Chain A
């Protein structure tokens, strides 16, 4: 089995009757970089949260790295995520009181795992942050902060990295650098974005509309993605 993440008919209904996910089935092969796209309210953030074990779907099953996510208690879900999943967020979510290096090893320390100092340094070096180890996040630029977040995701050596609008707060150049970096990692990455340019860095794009899959695109270009997005409304259900 080479699918690192598999979703089987996921449903998510919020209190008050809003249906965010309406039967989504999808799988993400090992080493693939997938962008999930859709207009606001299409359920892409909910999909990411359910797939990553941050939230419980109302119905359906989630498999990560061959194991089904069955935990329902917060602590158990946290422990499940720790060993399998890492995150990169739009607003970085670095802890302001910790240095770059401390932020990077935080998930390992929380999991009670030993941080391989050498490996941490090497990773940060590779991301061009080798000379900022002792710096606090507030002294870094947005692009640098996002690279720290990526280093943090990498050091835990997860089965899959989830990225939620990772370039949403970055200027064009930093955004391009971060995206190129994500692509060069050769890891399983699932990225939610609304930016066609960002999506064009992925191996494939999955479109969502009204909580359902609305097609996919292999080897996407920014223009093709934008075109598809523009007509998503009138082509719901049509496969690529």
Chain B
């Protein structure tokens, strides 16, 4: 089956692009941050501490995102090939054989991605050390290093993450038939993450009050946990938004009615929500900090943290873009048959596109509103701790920008893939 796995990769590399890209980016970032620890081993005490802190903060972020992105892209890459897997089963492949194939593919992609990531990670690591030199946090005599820890962490995390994701995916494909979603488990998880988020928020507002920039640690986490928690509740949130916006969507005639009744794309809400939540939270947190620090004596690492915060937002944007586009492409391609059925029932291409566009509106509204709520877990307690005011004294322009990015990403991915899926005659698509 490993042979089949490798043939699959060579035959249809396009199916693995998203998995490869997210694994590559993840591996490169983890290597970059881990190389700081390599660098720290030969440095003085002060530099050492600063390097290790940066590495653990940045690396921690990466871990969460990589796990999420690799899992989601891999799941979709496999689910898209249900047909091939059914075919393999029908010619005599056993469940474990199919599972071996999926795991083999995932490992090959991860290995390749990690290998390609080495030069990228090396370069990024140097950039990070340079940054720390400039802010004076690390003595300029400390030379950037790229050693066993960088390589070990990069390869280890990428391979292990892909392996776990592949096993989870393979198990779900193994037991054929209806894929039973487990809403209870998901909801419990969501509740747990929201509780952790709330806990971090409370800690920020109480324990960290008056601790200055250090409050960022707990405030930032509060927003991330809340974003993940709300993202897990995406199906419920989407249903709520659909119910509220229903009357408006229905004004668009038949496509509107269909958009409300179609299969719900809650998987696409997740990346939008994560992006909006984490980006909004981080940007406004930094904004509050900048205003509060004006005229104060700030610790010398404040500027580092500012840079790091923006780097994190940028990273998340890239990851989420990959995840979102991948999710939407997979979900839309999967609906080729459904679209063809609509057309055979008398829908024009325009009507099908209108239906998808309206679904996209529901997805984006849900994701952006959910993300806004999640970001408040960061913004409100940090504002209270740092500036003694809950509601930040900031313009909504930054949030508008974040929301606009979410809208553009969703819209362009959806419309493009729908166009492509609608290409060609409906009779051919319905048989496919």
Contact = CB atoms under 8 A, between A and B. Distances in A.
A240 interface: no
B427 A54 contact: yes
Contacts of A95: 338, 341-342, 345
B346 A107 contact: yes
Interface stretch (A62-70, A72-80, A182-190, A195-203): A72-80
B177 interface: no
B261 interface: yes
A107 B344 CA distance: 9
A101 to B, nearest CB: 12
Interface in A125-156: 152, 156
Interface in A46-97: 49, 54-55, 74-75, 78-79, 81-82, 87, 89, 91, 93-97
Contact of A93 (B261, B345, B347): B345
Contacts of A98: 261
Kindly name the residue among B263, B344, B351 whose own CB sees the greatest number of chain A CB atoms within 10 A: B344
B344 A112 contact: no
Interface string A30-54: 0000000000000000000100001
A75 B257 contact: no
A82 B350 contact: no
Nearest to B431: A91
Nearest to B425: A55
A153 to B, nearest CB: 10
Given A54-B425, A55-B425, A98-B261, A110 B345 contact: yes
Contacts of A96: 338
A150 to B, nearest CB: 14
Given A95-B338, A95-B341, A97-B261, A111 B350 contact: no
B307 interface: no
Contacts of B427: 49, 54-55
A106 interface: yes
A74 B261 CA distance: 25
Interface string B418-432: 000000011100100
B342 A109 contact: no
Contacts of A111: 346
Kindly name the residue among A75, A97, A102, A109 whose own CB sees the greatest number of chain B CB atoms within 10 A: A109
A110 B254 CA distance: 5
Given A75-B349, A93-B430, A112 B253 contact: yes
Contacts of B341: 93-95
A152 B348 contact: no
B119 interface: no
Interface string B237-269: 000000000000000011001000111000000
A108 B430 CA distance: 21
Interface residues of B, number: 22
B210 to A, nearest CB: 54
B343 A109 contact: no
A87 B261 contact: no
B348 A75 contact: yes
A32 B314 CA distance: 67
A81 B350 CA distance: 16
A184 to B, nearest CB: 24
A79 B344 contact: no
A91 to B, nearest CB: 8
A232 to B, nearest CB: 25
Contacts of B344: 54, 87, 89, 93
A156 B427 CA distance: 20
Nearest to A55: B425
A116 B44 CA distance: 83
Given A95-B338, A112-B253, A78 B347 contact: yes
A109 B254 contact: yes
Contacts of B343: 78
A100 to B, nearest CB: 13
Contacts of B347: 78, 110
Interface string B23-42: 00000000000000000000
B250 to A, nearest CB: 11
Question: When A and B form their complex, which 10 residue pairs have the shortest distance between CB atoms, in order from nearest?
Answer: A109-B254, A107-B346, A75-B348, A82-B346, A110-B346, A93-B341, A110-B347, A78-B348, A106-B345, A110-B254
Interface of B: 253-254, 257, 261-263, 338, 341-351, 425-427, 430
Given A78-B346, A93-B345, A102-B261, 6 more contacts: A54-B427, A55-B427, A95-B338, A109-B257, A110-B342, A152-B345
11 contacts: A49-B427, A54-B425, A54-B426, A74-B348, A81-B346, A98-B261, A106-B342, A107-B345, A110-B346, A111-B346, A112-B253
